[in-house]
Structure 1
Amino acid sequence: MTPVRLPPPSKLALAAELPRALGTLVDAAVNRSVLRAAPKGDGRPVLVLPGVATGDGSVRPMAHFLSKLGYRAETWQLGMNRGTPTIGAEAEHLIARVTALAERDGSSVTLIGVSLGGIMARLAAHRGPSLVREVVTICSPYAADARATNAWRTYQLLSGERVDDPAVAARLVEARRPLPVPATAIWSRNDGMVNPAACFVADEPGLRIVAVDGGHLLVHLRPSVWLFVAQLLAGEAPAALPG
């Protein structure tokens, strides 16, 4: 079985990523008041995984927000996300981190993954289903071939892997399989980095699919995304996420 082939977003969509990212920063600054409606957390462990070429700092704001709500939210503490060199050939470093949190708190862990981090979250859930409570992916292109993104060359450079390597393809096929735990896929209608259709499998049993406006870069900093994640974890998520 091979990953689904989809084209990457157009060069025009890619060029729009920077201004959209700047717009997200403005949104994060002026629309934080919407977060007052966020429900309180129940103390469960939450692990937030960063996208390619980023690390803990990129997802620390979301983890901090969830911690203030009452969750035991943490970043992954594995350094820059370089793909397999970071999490291990069998995702053993990531699994070890999830295991440590689960054992510390005596509870399975909610995984929230941004872009490549979401693919890794799905792999962790497949390989350690007893450790994972649920998975939330944010603009994560797990449902298609790596060339459905405009970042595949960056991945090759950082990971040292070729995206057409059978091992890479096998991981994507595994990530695409229906998860044994509850899952939510947040995707962006205007994504210029990854093909939006690569971010979910429409017929995956039980998958909640939610669209948001905006680009790919910094989408996980949007207040509307934070609010939705908080509502989702509290079991109060609406059917749709506002733009």
Structure 2
Amino acid sequence: MPLLTTEQLLQRCHNIAGMTLGQLAGQLKVKMPADLKRDKGWVGQLLELALGAEAGSKALPDFPALGIELKSLPIDQQGKPLESTYVCVAPLTGVTSQSWSQSWICQKLQQVLWVPILAERQIPLAERVIGSAFLWQPSAAEMQILQQDWEELMELITLGGIDQIRGAHGKALQLRPKAADSKALTAAIGARGEPIQTLPRGFYLKASFTAAILQRQFNLTNSP
């Protein structure tokens, strides 16, 4: 059944909250990988199937009719994110005239359905538990931080400084290599303005940024 309303989507989230990934995979008759080393996107794909996401690999939000992007968020027992969150591929050429509001990352972050997953390393994949999903829209302050990070990163890319960008850049956004192997190269701009080949890059939300979102949503404390 296609989703017609946000309420229907949240009801589907409610229906799977508390289930393990193994239980959900069994219910949907989906084969589980042994681990996520070669199947990093498997959890997201399982949730897309369970919740009725329709975008697939198209350049659209996961729930196009609702304008909502789906993001799974691995957390520990204290509710802290275990890693940064991949958002989308970063453009490395032809970016001089692009504005933040036109960017694909800005579109994707307009409204996000976060699905926390209790996924500490020692918990077998099948026993990891789906948490309570929630909708998030960036506040004006969060949007300003994201825009500032994006503009600084895009300026470095445009000026040929892509190889100088490290994970420490940015308060909320990271730019990191995003490729299955080191042979998957893409076009970019070198330090002297010359065309070069480099690893594709992706935009990631830093764990500290998503931790603040979770703290606000669930009134979490900062206890260790």
TM (norm. structure 2) is 0.29
- Higher helix content, 1 or 2: 1
Structure showing greater radius of gyration is 2
TM (norm. structure 1) is 0.27
- Higher strand content, 1 or 2: 2
